[in-house]
Amino acid sequence: MIAGIIANPASGKDIRRLVAHATVFDNQEKTNLIRRILLGLQAAGVNKVWFMPDYYGFYERALDVFSGENQLTMETKLLPMQCKANQEDSLLAAANMAELGVRCLVTLGGDGTNRVVAKGAGEVPIMPVSTGTNNVFSVMVEGTIAGLAAGLVATGAVEHEYSVIRTKKLIIYINGKVVDIALIDAVVLAEQFVGSRAIWDIGKIRQIVATCGEPFHIGIAAIVGALHPINRREAKGINLIIAESGEQTLDPTQGSLIYVKAAVGPGLIRSVPVRSYELMSPGQKVVVGHVPCVIAVDGEREILIGPNDFAEVELVQTGPFVVDVKSTLNRATEKGLFINR
**In the chain, what are the domain boundaries?**
2-167+320-334, 169-316
> pLDDT digit string (tens) for 211-266?
999 999 999 999 999 999 999 999 999 999 999 865 554 444 455 899 999 999 88
pTM for the model stands at: 0.91
Which has the minimum average pLDDT: 131-135, 207-211, 260-264? 131-135
Lowest-confidence pick of 93-102, 189-198, 273-282: 189-198
Model confidence at 199, in pLDDT bands (50, 70, 90)?
confident
CATH of domain 2-167+320-334: 3.40.50
3-state secondary structure 106-135: EEEECHHHHHHHHHHHCCCCEEEEECCCCC
Q: Which CATH class is domain 169-316?
A: mainly beta
**pLDDT, tens digit, for every residue of 150-179?**
999 999 999 999 999 999 999 999 999 999
Q: Exposure of 270 by Cβ count < 10 A (0-12 exposed, 13-18 middle, 19+ buried)?
A: middle
Q: What single string gives the DSSP state of each residue in 145-181? A: HHHHHHHHHHTT-S-HHHHEEE--EEEEEETTEEEEE
